[in-house]
């Protein structure tokens, strides 16, 4: 009995903290008694599903105070091979098996395995199974397949869509919200970017797509990134995240999301962290290739890590006025993605020949491989002559991508498709490749910061050679200091 009392004493404070965090957020959102806080996930990929399942697991028992649900498109069939694998997973987990039997849902998985019934992605998600992560059963979720029904009265919307789908879906959501008097909070989990060339070359992030599509005030849009792996988060292994955005919302949201196994920090720099979340996926694909092609050679992988992080640091100096603040998050998120992420897995599969770039970047059982579109976006952006930098040896203006040989090689493999995966080793062993230290010194010694890449106006250093302020307050790097441009 004494042991039971001790157990209750440790559990009750944790439950009390959970309730207090929820009540703090409800108060900030002006929720009255009897009016549940409505949280909706949009998109049910691996991370989107795990994130909503984590909230359901933590807060779902307080039904009068919070309602958690997730939207995914209806009608996506689960093929027979996946149904058979799912059946095997169910039977290997006694807790899951008993739960399905109690719900009278077990028989449909038997029939799905035999091919006597078609299972659907939204159907199995209600039972706690994500099609992109069948080996990790989740808790049962409230699934909605009508987008308007899912979001029209939501207080918090979690964007779990790939960046390639974010704009189209949120344009539709924006139409539903035209008559809303108050806009919801939006937490974006998406890690991908687009490149836009006009009026000046710049990066378009998922939060920018959401802002443009919905009219939600910028202080109500936040980004949440790693380092973490979706399956590890739900299995309650130690995980970490960083929520970025306005101070009013990021701090209470960090407290609301924080759990004993899921540590959440907060940061004011939304856009740069979001872009870095997309950039690390680029190099994770190459890491998977190198690991497979060298039979997991520790030396080859470490050299690749040194080279790719030096390119990332160089690119970070182009994007951020104070890049040193990103060093920890950038390296941590990169490291975990290179170790165990779907982009690294994709690189492995390309190197073995199990997959080819021609098969596309949406892979059954994994979902969207965001690094592919990110390779194209960063290469397109950094090859623009208007962003020219002085080459340290040639002493002439070159596009920034010329100082990123790994990015160039990945572009040739994944986008142009005129180079085989083995080409990544050629780049790695090129005797003309800079020592990583040199590339980092180039970025640090030169005033390379280009605020227009993140659409940041009026951040100028007119004394910098080759940098000129143009009519709209943005900065453009020119090929020669004497060039003038009107915008």
Out of 280, 364, 396, 459, the active site residue is 280
Q: What is the pLDDT of residue 12?
A: 55
CA 92 – CA 392 distance, rounded (Å): 59
- For the chain, list residues with pLDDT below 50: 1-2, 5-11, 458-487
Q: Which residue has the tokens 């049910």?
A: 44
pLDDT at res. 313: 86
Determine whether 280 is an active site residue: yes
d(CA 409, CA 416): 10
CATH of 271-442, one of 1.10.1040.10, 3.40.50.880, 3.40.50.150, 1.10.150.20: 1.10.1040.10
User: For 390, phi and psi rounded to 5 degrees?
Assistant: -85, 125
- Are 257 and 240 contacting, i.e. CB atoms less than 8 angstroms apart? no
Residue 1: predicted pLDDT: 46
Please report, for the chain, the start and end positions of each structural domain, with discontinuous segments joined by +: 15-75+142-268, 77-126, 271-442
pLDDT at res. 443: 72
**Inter-CA distances, 283 with 177, 305, 324, 372, 485, Å:** 38, 9, 20, 10, 34
b vs e for 12-50, b when ≥16 Cβ sit within 10 Å of the residue's Cβ?
Answer: eeeeeebeebbeebbeebebeeeeebbbbbbbbbbbbbb
Task: Provide the CATH topology of domain 15-75+142-268.
Answer: Rossmann fold (3.40.50)
Strand-pair partners of 159: 42, 188
Q: How far apart are CA 171 and CA 212, in angstroms?
A: 8
């Amino acid at each position: 009995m004494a042991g039971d009392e001790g157990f209750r004493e440790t559990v009750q404070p944790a439950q009390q903290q959970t309730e207090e965090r929820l009540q703090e957020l409800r108060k900030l959102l002006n929720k009255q008694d009897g009016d549940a806080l409505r949280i909706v996930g949009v998109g049910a990929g691996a991370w989107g599903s795990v994130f909503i399942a984590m909230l359901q697991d933590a807060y779902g028992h307080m039904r009068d105070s919070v309602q958690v649900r997730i939207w995914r498109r209806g009608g996506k069939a689960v093929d027979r091979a996946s149904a058979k694998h799912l059946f095997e997973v169910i039977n290997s987990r006694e807790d899951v098996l008993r739960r399905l039997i109690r719900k009278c849902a077990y028989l449909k998985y038997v029939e799905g395995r035999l091919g006597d019934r078609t299972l659907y992605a939204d159907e199995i998600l209600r039972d706690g199974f994500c099609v992109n992560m069948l080996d990790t059963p989740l808790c049962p979720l409230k699934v909605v397949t009508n987008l308007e029904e899912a979001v029209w009265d939501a207080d918090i919307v979690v964007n779990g869509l790939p960046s390639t789908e974010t704009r189209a879906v949120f344009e539709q959501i924006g139409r539903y919200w035209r008559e809303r008097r108050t806009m919801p909070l939006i937490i974006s989990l998406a890690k991908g970017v687009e490149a836009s060339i006009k009026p000046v070359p710049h990066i378009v992030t998922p939060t920018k797509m959401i802002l443009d599509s919905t009219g939600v005030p910028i202080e109500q849009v936040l980004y949440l990134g790693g380092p973490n792996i979706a399956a590890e988060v739900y299995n309650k292994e130690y995980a970490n995240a960083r929520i970025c955005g306005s101070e009013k919302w990021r701090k209470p949201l960090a407290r609301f999301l924080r759990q004993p196994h899921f540590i959440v920090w907060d940061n004011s720099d939304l856009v740069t962290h979001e872009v870095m979340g997309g950039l690390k996926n680029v190099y994770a694909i190459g890491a998977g290739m190198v690991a497979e092609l060298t039979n997991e050679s520790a030396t080859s992988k470490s050299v690749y890590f040194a080279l790719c992080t030096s390119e990332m640091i160089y690119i970070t100096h182009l994007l951020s006025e104070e890049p040193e603040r990103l060093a920890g998050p950038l390296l941590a998120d990169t490291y975990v993605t290179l170790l165990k992420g779907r982009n690294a897995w994709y690189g492995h599969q390309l190197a073995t020949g199990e997959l080819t770039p021609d098969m596309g970047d949406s892979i059954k059982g994994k979902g969207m491989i965001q690094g592919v579109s990110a390779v194209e976006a960063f290469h397109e952006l950094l090859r623009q002559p208007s962003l020219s930098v002085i080459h340290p040896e040639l002493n002439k203006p070159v596009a920034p991508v010329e100082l990123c040989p790994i990015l160039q090689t990945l572009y040739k493999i994944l986008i142009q498709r005129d180079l085989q995966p083995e080409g990544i080793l050629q780049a790695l062993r090129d005797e003309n490749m800079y020592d990583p230290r040199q590339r980092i010194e180039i970025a640090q010694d030169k005033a390379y910061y280009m605020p227009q890449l993140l659409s940041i106006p009026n951040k100028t250093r007119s004394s910098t050679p080759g940098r000129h302020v143009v009519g709209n307050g943005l900065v453009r790097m020119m090929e020669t200091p004497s060039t003038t441009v009107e915008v």
